[in-house]
Amino acid sequence: MNKGEFIEARELCKTYRAGGEDVYALRDVNLTVGRGEFLSIVGPSGCGKSTLLYLLGALVTPTSGSVVIDGAEPGNLSDAGLSRLRGRMTGFVFQRFNLLPTLTTRQNILLSQRIRGLRRGEGLDADEILARVGLGGKMHRRPSELSMGEQQRAAIARAVVHRPAILLADEPTGNLDSANSEMILGLFAQMHRELGQTILMVTHNHDVAKAAERTVQMRDGKIVNNPPSAVRLC
């Protein structure tokens, strides 16, 4: 497998306006992720993990610096190009699951396929992926009728149904007990193994981070270690 530069962040800065002044959420971040790598980003709350993840997943554009994803620079893309990049290349999993409450589990998966513009036979079959995350029997339930662990598994099914090259997860186990957390991490490991996906996972839990091949640590909007070695700083 080619572990060359797949995602590259250069001098990445992101500021938000708060109380009339610019607040740095991210300051001069450099990071390279190889194709097929499983990377975790750890750090205390507010250190900029989510911001970095969303920049690497083309959900936000940087204030300065650049992100290159498989040769494309999201900052230079039109709305259509950016949407295509998100829809085709990435799949997001969030701490709060973010399933659409008015749709059933299965409809959530189908909507993901539709928005991503999948043609018949492209990507994974909705029913098959639901069976694979253990929701085959609950696909016609709405999110509110599922347990938290089940909702997160549905969210993962939604995020991988198009076999994205990159799976991004923001505190995917943050709302789950340890049994469910383990199940989710097991699913990630399986996807990584079987589909060869690049996985970027944000967590504040070092034990969870251990599921990854490499861990990047952040503090105050900066990366404080640039592995291979995992040094505990926060």
Partner 1 sequence: MSGMVWANIRHRKTRSLVCVAATGIGIALLLVLTGLCRGMISEAAERLKKTGAQILVQPRGASGLLAFKGSSLPLKYAPELERIDGVAAACPVLTWTTTIRKVIYVVYGVDLKRYEAVGGKLQLVAGRPWDNPRECLVDTRLAEANGYRAGDTISILGSSFTIAGIYQSGVGAGVYLPLQTLQSSLHLEGMCSLFFVRTARTDAAAVQACAAAIDARLPALTAQILDRYEEIMVNEVTGLNEFFGVITTTALVISFLVILLTMYTTIIERTREIGILRSLGATKGFIVGLVVRESVLLSAMGVAAGFGFTLMAMLWLSRAHPLLTMALTPLAGFKAAMLGIGGGVLGALYPGLRAARIDPVEALLYE
Ligand X SMILES: Nc1ncnc2c1ncn2[C@@H]1O[C@H](COP(=O)(O)OP(=O)(O)O)[C@@H](O)[C@H]1O
Binding site for partner 1 (CB under 8 A): 50, 54, 59-60, 79-80, 83-88, 90, 92, 94, 98, 100-103, 107, 110-112, 114-117, 158
81 versus 186: smaller Cβ distance to partner 1: 81
Contact 198, 90 (CB under 8 A): no
> Nearest distance from residue 142's CB to Mg ion, in Å?
26
Sheet holding 198-203: strands in order across? 90-93, 166-170, 198-203, 38-42, 214-219, 222-225
20 versus 101: smaller Cβ distance to partner 1: 101
90 versus 215: smaller Cβ distance to partner 1: 90
Contact 50, 26 (CB under 8 A): no
Residue 50 lies near ligand X (rule: CB under 6 A): yes
With CA atoms as reference, report the closest residue to 33 among 50, 13, 52: 52
CA distance 185 to 211: 7
| Binding site partner of 18, from Mg ion, ligand X, partner 1, none, Cβ cut-off 5-8 A by kind | ligand X
What are the angstrom distances between the C-alpha of 224 and each of 5, 51, 217?
A: 20, 16, 6
According to CB under 5 A, which one of 12, 41, 43, 50 is a site residue for Mg ion?
50
26 versus 126: smaller Cβ distance to ligand X: 26
CA distance 88 to 74: 13
The residue ranges that bind ligand X (CB under 6 A) are 16, 18, 23, 25, 43, 45-51
